Structure formats: C-alpha cells, structure tokens
C-alpha cells in the first residue's frame, strides 16, 4: 500500500511512520516543512515541502492509496498573530489535498483533528458531543472536519 503522511515530522506522524515502514508491504511518502534526515528506509521518501504551497504536488511520485492528514501549524498557540498559517494548514490546505486526492483516485483520506472541536465539559468527550470550539485552533480543525465530510 502507498501511503502519504502529511505532517510526518510531528509526534503522531513520526510514530506512525516508524510503524508503517517496519512492514515492507507499505511504501510511505512523508511531507513536512522540516527535514527528517534521521529517517532512512528503502520504503520511505521524505518530501520537504510546505503543504500551504502548491509545489508539494509535483513531488509526489506514483499512485497514493491512503492519505493521512496529520499536519498542524506550529503557530497554533499564536493568536491572533498566527491565525493565517493555522487556517491555511487546518482548513485551506485540507481542501487542496482533498481535491488532489479525489483527482488522483486516493482510496482513503484520514484527517486527524482535535478534542478542541468539542464544547468543554468536565467528563470524557464522546464523538456524539456538541462541537463548539472555544479557540481559533479548534475552529480551524472543525472547519477541516466539515470539509472532509463533503468529500
């Protein structure tokens, strides 16, 4: 299976990458803004690219079966100064990747969101709970979720 991980240099992305490349049945392409020189594997290709710019598309080689969208802006705590980057990574780029995925016949698209999309409460959160983010970051992730539902 050919897997594209967007946001591969993050905590979840790195863990997932290590698990996936252990299985020689998978070829993983990872995209991140940062370099990942420490990851060498015959079944891994690292693409250093900014997902908010169109150039990333040109660097994807071969057919992709699954997209794992794990990207998060490093500006997520910077309100209001980082709002443009947060929105671009969590919403605008999600739409771009969804459209690219549809055009390239990707079989599965998985979008990692956050518990911050839900209304705060003093008990465990459930996916059936009301979505009512109280931060810009949560609102941008909810926007990404809503875009994914349309596809």
| DSSP character at residue 119 | P
User: Which pTM does this prediction carry?
Assistant: 0.92
The span from the CA of 144 to the CA of 67, in Å, is 14
pLDDT score of 105 more than 90: yes
Beta-carbon contacts of residue 55 (< 8 Å; ≥ 6 apart) = 49
* CA count, 13 A, side-chain hemisphere, 10: 15
Nearest to 63 by CA among 7, 8, 3: 3
pLDDT at 85 over 80: yes
Which residues have a Cβ under 8 Å from the Cβ of 124 and sit 6 or more positions away? none
Judged against a pLDDT cut of 70, whether residue 14 lies above it is answered with: yes
Task: Say if residue 44 is preceded by a cis peptide, omega within 30 of 0.
Answer: no
Residue 38's pLDDT is 63
pLDDT tens digits, 108-150: 999 999 999 999 889 999 989 999 999 999 999 999 999 999 9
Residue 37 confidence (pLDDT) above 80: no
What are the Cα distances from residue 74, in Å, to 7, 9, 77, 83, 86? 11, 12, 8, 11, 8
pLDDT band, very low/low/confident/very high, at 75 (cuts 50, 70, 90): confident
């Amino acid at each position: 299976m050919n897997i594209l991980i967007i946001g591969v240099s993050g905590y979840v992305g790195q863990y997932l990458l290590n698990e996936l490349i252990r299985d020689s049945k998978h070829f993983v392409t990872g995209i991140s803004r940062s370099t990942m020189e420490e990851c060498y594997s015959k079944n891994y290709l690292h693409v250093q690219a900014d997902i908010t710019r169109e150039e990333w598309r040109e660097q994807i080689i071969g057919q992709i079966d699954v997209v794992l969208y794990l990207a998060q802006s490093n500006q997520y705590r910077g309100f209001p100064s980082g709002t443009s980057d947060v929105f671009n990574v969590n919403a605008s780029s999600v739409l771009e990747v969804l459209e690219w995925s549809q055009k390239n016949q990707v079989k599965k698209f998985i979008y990692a969101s956050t518990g911050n999309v839900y209304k705060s409460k003093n008990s465990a959160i459930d996916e059936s709970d009301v979505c009512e983010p109280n931060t810009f970051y949560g609102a941008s992730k909810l926007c990404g979720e809503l875009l994914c539902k349309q596809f």
